[in-house]
Amino acid sequence: MESQHDIVLNDVSNYLGDSQDEVQESGDLTGQHEFSLPQADGGKDAWLFLMAGFMIEALVWGLPFSFGVFQEYYSTHEPFSSDASGIAVVGTTATGIMYMIGLALFPAYKAWPHFASITKWAGIPLMASGLIGASFAQKVGHLILTQGAIYAVGGTLIYYPTLMYIDEWFIQRKGMAYGIMWAGTGVGGLTIPFILNALLSRYGFRTTLRIWSICLMILAMPLVYFLRPRLPISQASQSPRYGLGFMKSSAFWVLQAGLVMESLGYFIPSIYLPLFARSLGLSPSIGTLLVALLNAAGVFATVIFGMLVDRFHVTTVILLSTIGTTISIFLLWGLSTALPLLCVFSVVYGFFAGGFVSTNAGVIKMVKQNDRGADIGILLGVVSAARGIGAIGSGPLSEALVKRGLGTGQEGFAYGSGYGSLIVFTGVTAAVGGVGFLGRRLGWV
């Protein structure tokens, strides 16, 4: 079995581009030779990094994952309510770009190691600029550019260095660490909707966006200091070894296909639940509650599923998430006509669907076991891009499905409402997202 010391040597070689001889000349990297690395998988520095990463996750992703609150507001208030088409695309553009742009950033970070330590300081100001720009919007297209694209680019500049460095700080407890950090999205998605709903109700969207941009700067900028690499950064750009052998693996692509399909429907409930609640005659605050419950369940799910992928094969964890998610959509959301069942759906869906993101850590673990030369940064970028493809596609697809809803009343439960086709689509994509387990049974994974 490979020791932690061997893993550290591999990390140094992969990230710094050092030859094996150069690494060995430094001696035992945990000893008292040329330098001493901070403790991995624990210790003050590792936990401070993880705490900062958790908070950044909450602040960066909390707003896009709370977009259902904005969706409901923009759809019912001027200047956007008169032509509400494309509003859902604002939220899915933000999440999609943040997932996909890593495919370009990680190779850049590998070629120019100092690039990540520089760009991370620009992320939060750019996010704030996007929100301020959105506060002047007059058309939905303006929102897509500012609250969608500009905000997302800023988010990637702070988020991806964090995602890259966590692999250095946590080696044996990687699944747990990713799970804790990703739980930040759930915490942000639990608290931020209530704050946004209160601000929107009192001040309108323009002042709300400006207030939130100031909050981002105050809360997030001090955290950037703690988002530091554990391994020393090379002093010069290199000819990087990208380690793309994993892309020849059928197992990897089966899991990627499942991730794309799952992502096509994953974001739909958090976007449309407030509008669906309004169609039942419930107040905007109820819609906010449903989004908060969904995200709150994800807090526990990401940590629990993160620990599961450390103990079980990733396809087993995918199956668990898929079954719970699919049942919750078809039986709970599809049969709901009142608040109690909607609340149950939000919690159950939030838990099982929210846990799916932690299976990414399991995919990375599986690939690294089969291909030691696989570069973790490139791997993270490719995996994130698959989720981004689904996120971007879900915006226009969901709007088309709502326009072609199966009905306009409450007959036939939620299936008979204008959201019936959307519910069926979400359930089908969740079910197909579990193709990785079938692939394993067929010997493809």
Q: 319: closest CA among 180, 440, 442, 425?
A: 440
What tens digit of pLDDT does each residue of 146-180 get?
999 999 999 999 998 998 888 888 888 877 888 78
For 240-257, how does the pLDDT look when each residue is reduced to its tens digit (9 = 90+)?
566 777 888 888 899 999
Structural domains in the chain, sorted by start: 39-441 (1.20.1250.20)
In the predicted structure, residue 31 carries a pLDDT above the cut 80:
no
Contacts within 8 Å (CB) and 24+ apart, 438-445? 439/251, 439/254, 439/255, 439/258, 439/315, 440/313, 440/315, 444/250, 444/251, 444/254, 445/250, 445/251, 445/254, 445/255, 445/315
Burial class (CB in 10 A: 0-12, 13-18, 19+), 174: buried
Can you tell me the mean pLDDT for 101-113? 83
Residue 32: CB partners within 8 Å, gap ≥ 6?
none
pTM: 0.78
| Whether residue 46 has pLDDT greater than 50 | yes
**Mean predicted confidence (pLDDT) in 299-318:** 88
Average pLDDT over residues 37-64: 90
Rg (CA), the chain: 22
Helical segments of 244-338, H only: 250-266, 268-279, 284-311, 314-327
